[in-house]
A and B are shown apart, each in its own frame.
Chain A
Amino acid sequence: MKEISLNLLDIAQNSVSAGATLIELTVRESQAEDIVLMSVADNGKGMSPEFLARVTDPFTTTRTTRPVGMGLPLLKMEAEMTGGGLEIKSELGRGTTVTATFRRSHIDTPPLGDLKGTVVTLVQGSPDIDFVYRRETDLGQFVLSTREMREQLGGVPLDEPEVLAWIGEYIEENEQSLQGE
């Protein structure tokens, strides 16, 4: 993956497939701590200890089209290459949390990329899921909650193009303030 935001999209799609109704996305970047962290926490169906033990093996997958699943193994490799790592916590019936850390100053740490594109894609694909997107830098943080948005929108679905465009603009504007622009 060329961007961490693409890993974020890929891993969050697993949460969608796991039947989650709440998916929390966190992207934290700190120059002071020399870290880039992305995590996806869901309340989906979770994994058994046996499945969890082999989930970063590329020949473990839930897809039915072919017996290869590259999402988590790729992320693990990418994170470890930079001196970071991948942590997965999961419990059957409770949910799963995937956290990847990268060393920010490492040359192999990919750029964060188009984070708003990832959030908009997820909301477009699953407008009924509650997404919480939390973005933190050394300058501060902001949170977007689609549940709060839904309250404002009444019956208008979140996947209306105009609403999706608003989400993109909202994230972009807040992102700029976190970069000190």
Chain B
Amino acid sequence: MAKSIAELKAIRDRMQAQMNLRKDDGDSIRVVVGMATCGIAAGARPVLAAIVDEVGKRELADVKISQTGCIGVCRLEPIVEVFEPGKEKVTYVNMTEDKARRMVSEHLVNHRVVSEYTIGAAE
């Protein structure tokens, strides 16, 4: 049967119960993907999609994913920045879909930075 916009009502009913469980923004981890011309041309769209997909599947309610413009190091795009409360920012460079999925499981779930993907390792 063809999909209908009315299906969203079912999602609403299911989600509204869960929404109350979401943590406050103060504790959340922020993940930012560069989505300017440089990032898009280098492959940022599938990287973002992979992060959204992994975070959704793992139901990481305390992770907020957003996009930004040019981060400034166009040759190292796609770039993903991770901000954990009380910790230094981690900048991942030359990201791919696979690297993004590993970053979610190791960094966002287990809080271990994937050092070999960071800007420190690339420079």
Contacts and interface: CB of A to CB of B under 8 A. Distances in A.
Interface in B57-85: 57, 65-67, 69-72, 74
Contact of B11 (A69, A125, A156): A156
Contacts of B16: 154-156
B69 A13 contact: yes
B21 interface: no
B7 interface: yes
B45 interface: yes
Contacts of B113: none
Contacts of A154: 12, 16
B87 interface: no
Contact of B12 (A74, A114, A156, A173): A156
Nearest to B65: A124
B19 interface: yes
B52 A124 contact: yes
Nearest to A168: B49
Interface in B27-44: 35-38, 40-41
A9 B40 contact: yes
Given A65-B72, A121-B49, A154-B16, A166 B11 contact: yes
B49 A117 contact: yes
A17 B49 contact: no
Contact of A152 (B12, B46, B55): B12
Contacts of B5: 148-149, 152, 170
A104 B25 CA distance: 47
Interface string A95-115: 000000000000000000010
Contact of A66 (B9, B52, B72): B72
B99 to A, nearest CB: 18
A117 B50 CA distance: 11
Interface of A: 1, 6, 9-10, 13, 17, 63, 65-66, 69-71, 74, 114, 117-118, 120-121, 124-125, 148-149, 152-156, 159-166, 169-170, 173-174
Interface of B: 2-3, 5-9, 11-12, 14-16, 19, 35-38, 40-41, 45-46, 48-49, 52-53, 55-57, 65-67, 69-72, 74
7 contacts: A10-B40, A13-B40, A63-B69, A118-B45, A153-B9, A154-B12, A166-B11
Given A117-B49, A160-B56, A170-B5, 17 more contacts: A6-B45, A10-B37, A65-B71, A120-B49, A121-B67, A124-B48, A124-B52, A124-B65, A148-B5, A153-B11, A156-B11, A156-B15, A165-B56, A166-B3, A166-B7, A166-B11, A173-B3
